[in-house]
């Protein structure tokens, strides 16, 4: 079994991730890619600046991957999240999971992205073609709920 | 005692800083650190009960903080 | 929206599929890869020979993709299934789905592989390191059930 | 009337052929074609009610077949 995670400031090489999880023991590989999307909430996006609480993000991503590997028994898991200025279509996150069976490969992949969205301390400032920009608060409601649970 | 408060994204913009050294009395909790930050100029944009990590682990509002702790106020996350 | 499916007799180029589904309108891409696995039912596999009812397999795969696109509103879907003699680790099927949202991307991807397993007229003869070989009947029970439903 | 029976994988091996031209009476169904194949040498390995496709579309056992139809007997599929 191999598990590797990284917070990176360079382009994510999807083919390299694929090679990394590939071996002859597994029947199924599921790859999830998140991209910078042109439209968000009706506004035309020109790019996104990703920032993070770097050290904690590295720890949390590693923790998510460990939990996933333990829970689903994945054979190989590689996850990279990119920071910095991303352009339209750029890959912001890539998750590659290999498993002997497909059901677990899908579930493990989904687990990682959902936990990333829930708890990875990363923020994005979306730039729009009209020259404005805004912090994206996609997880705002979940965030308030989590904060309240902790009171 | 002294703790380091870390601020990110919109919270860092609101307080005009991403890192503040705070001097506090003993017997201090996460909630006390948040209250101190909210009393500072621009601090009113922080929610009364934001998500907080102490030394890079998510923490409850009543968790004790000790001198040297790194207390991060976490805006709504938006990774992925 | 673009949908393309193919039954091929050459190696599947996963990077090419990725480029094909990539654009700036979609936030999520899910790729599923099926591989030739070294162990199956406790026997050590040396390779698999895939054969098909070729024309019908092409029609069924295209039908599955159309149903998927209509049901999940996927933006881009490319699926290729390979035939012929495959070695350990070779990709037998690749499914790439792009969608504005991740939940639908996962569900659409899963839909395609489950329907492929259920109804694509493709067979595999597994070769083992001991020199023997056998037709694989992984879907045997489902098959008997489907046949009975049709009586 | 004549229909073309297609056989695949283990079924083709059992009957020693992957394509047979069958001459049948009129008023014929999928079930009749299967019965004819099962009566041939090696045909007993075919199940009584296999999955069948007529002209590349899955069909019920009581579906009518007409002259020129392509009737494929589909072994348990194993794609993916």
Task: List the structure tokens of C140.
Answer: 């045997």
Q: What percent of chain A has pLDDT over 90?
A: 79
How many degrees, rounded to 5, is the angle at CA D51 between CA D77 and CA D30? 150
The answer to whether the CB atoms of A32 and C30 lie below 8 A apart is yes
Q: Are the C-beta atoms of residues B13 and A123 closer than 8 Å to each other?
A: no
User: Per-residue pLDDT averaged across D16-37, rounded?
Assistant: 96
Question: pLDDT: is D56 or C143 the higher one?
Answer: D56
Q: Is the pLDDT of residue A148 over 70?
A: no
Q: Please give the full DSSP string across C31-86, using - where no structure is assigned.
A: EEEEE--SEETTEEEEEEEEEE-HHHHHHHHHHHHHHHHHHH--SEEEEEEE-EEE
The yes-or-no verdict on residue B8 having pLDDT over 60 is: yes
The contacts of residue B28 (CB under 8 Å, 6+ apart) are: B1, B3, B64, B65
Would you place residue C147 in the very low, low, confident or very high pLDDT band (cuts 50, 70, 90)?
Answer: low
Of A116, A125, A148, nearest to B79 by CB-CB distance is A116
pTM equals 0.92
CB-count exposure of residue A47 (10 Å: 0-12, 13-18, 19+): middle
Q: Do B72 and A123 touch (CB under 8 A)?
A: no
**By mean pLDDT, which of A34-48, B50-64, C98-112 is the weakest?**
A34-48
Cα of first residue to Cα of last residue in chain A, in angstroms, is 38
Determine the Cα–Cα distance for residues D14 and A122; give it in Å rounded to an integer.
61
Residue (of A41, A37, A109, A34) closest to A71 by Cα position = A109
- Least confident segment among A109-118, C38-47, C85-94: C38-47
Separation in Å, CA C2 to CA B63, C23, C32, C96: 53, 11, 18, 11
Rounded-to-integer distance, Cα B77 and Cα D35, Å: 65
From C98, which residue of chain A is nearest by alpha-carbon distance? A33
Residue at token pair 């934001």: B50
Question: Which one of A51, A93, A140 has the shortest CB-CB distance to B76?
Answer: A140
Instruction: Identify the helix (H) or strand (E) that includes residue C146.
Output: helix C140-149
Model pLDDT for residues B11-61, shown as the tens digit of each residue: 999 999 999 999 999 899 999 999 999 999 999 999 999 999 999 999 999
Residues of C with CB under 8 A from a CB of D: 34, 50-53, 55-57, 59, 81, 92-93, 113, 116-125, 135-140, 142-144, 146-148, 150-151
User: Tell me, what's the pLDDT at C150?
Assistant: 52
CB contact under 8 A, D8 and C121: yes
Indicate if the pLDDT at residue A142 is higher than 80: no
Q: Per-residue pLDDT tens for C31-70?
A: 999 999 888 888 999 999 999 999 999 999 999 999 999 9
Q: Can you list the domains of chain B with their CATH numbers?
A: 2-74 (3.10.20.30)
Share of chain A above pLDDT 70, in %: 91
Residues 6 or more apart whose Cβ sits within 8 Å of residue B40: B15, B20
Beta carbons of A99 and B53 less than 8 angstroms apart: no
Nearest CB to A139 within list B8, B52, B78: B78
SS3 of residue A44 by DSSP? strand
Chains A and B touch (3+ CB pairs under 8 A): yes
* pLDDT for C49: 97
* Per-residue pLDDT band at A147 (split at 50, 70, 90): low
pLDDT band at A150 (very low <50, low <70, confident <90, very high): low
Q: State the Cα–Cα distance between residues C3 and C61, nearest whole angstrom.
A: 11
| Cα distance between residue C139 and residue C17, in whole Å | 27
Instruction: For residues D64 and A133, give the distance between their C-alpha atoms in angstroms, rounded to a whole number.
Output: 66
Give the closest-approach CA distance of A68 to chain B in angstroms.
17
Q: D56 CA to chain C: closest CA distance, Å?
A: 5
Q: How confident is the model at residue C142 (pLDDT cuts 50, 70, 90)?
A: very low
> Could you read off the pLDDT of D57-67 as tens digits, one per residue?
999 999 999 99
Residue C144, pLDDT above cutoff 70: no
> What is the band of C26 on the pLDDT scale with cuts at 50, 70, 90?
confident
Give the rounded percent of residues in chain C with a pLDDT score beyond 70.
91
**Cα distance between residue A146 and residue C92, in whole Å:** 43
Residue ranges of domains in chain A, CATH in brackets: 2-150 (3.90.1170.40)
Cβ neighbours, 10 Å, residue B59 = 20
d(CA C2, CA C19): 13
Map tokens 């910078």 to a residue.
A36
Answer for the pair D20, D41: CB distance below 8 angstroms, yes or no. Answer: no
Residue C119 to residue C138: CA distance in whole angstroms: 12
Higher pLDDT, B71 or A40: B71
Q: Which of A27-36, A130-139, B34-43, C128-137 has the lowest mean pLDDT?
A: A130-139
pLDDT at C140 over 50: no
The rounded distance, in Å, linking the Cα atoms of B41 and B7 is: 14
**Shortest Cα distance, chain B CAs vs residue A8, angstroms:** 13
Distance, in Å, from the CA atom of C97 to the CA atom of C18, rounded to the nearest integer, reads 9
pLDDT bucket at A75, cuts 50 / 70 / 90 = confident
- List subunits contacting chain A, requiring 3 or more Cβ pairs under 8 Å: B, C
Average pLDDT of chain C?
A: 90
Residue C95, beta-bridge partner list: C32, C79
Give the pLDDT of residue B50: 96
Residue A1 pLDDT class (50, 70, 90 cuts)? confident
Q: Which residue reads 């969205």 in tokens?
A: A117
Nearest-CB residue to A53 (from B8, B76, B80): B8
| Nearest residue in A to C24, CA atom | A89
């Amino acid at each position: 079994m191999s598990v590797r995670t990284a917070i990176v400031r360079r382009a994510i090489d999807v083919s390299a991730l694929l090679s990394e999880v590939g071996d002859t023991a597994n029947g199924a590989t599921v790859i999830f890619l998140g991209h910078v999307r042109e439209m968000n909430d009706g506004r035309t996006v020109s790019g996104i600046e990703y920032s993070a609480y770097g050290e904690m993000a590295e720890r949390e991503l590693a923790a998510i991957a460990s939990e996933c590997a333990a829970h689903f028994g994945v054979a190989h898991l590689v996850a990279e999240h990119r920071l910095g200025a991303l352009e339209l279509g750029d890959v912001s996150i890539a998750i590659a999971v290999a498993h002997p069976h497909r059901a677990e490969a899908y579930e493990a992949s989904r687990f990682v992205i959902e936990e990333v969205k829930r708890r990875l301390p990363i923020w994005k400032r979306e730039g729009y073609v009209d020259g404005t920009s805004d912090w994206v608060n996609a997880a705002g409601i979940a965030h308030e709920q989590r904060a309240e649970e902790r009171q | 005692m002294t703790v380091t408060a870390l601020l990110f994204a919109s919270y860092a913009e609101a307080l005009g800083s991403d890192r503040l050294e705070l001097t506090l009395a003993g017997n201090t909790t996460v909630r006390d650190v948040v209250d101190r930050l909210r009393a500072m100029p621009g601090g009113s944009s922080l929610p009364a009960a934001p998500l907080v990590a102490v030394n890079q682990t998510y923490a409850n509002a009543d968790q004790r903080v000790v001198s040297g702790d790194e207390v991060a106020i976490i805006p709504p996350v938006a990774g992925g």
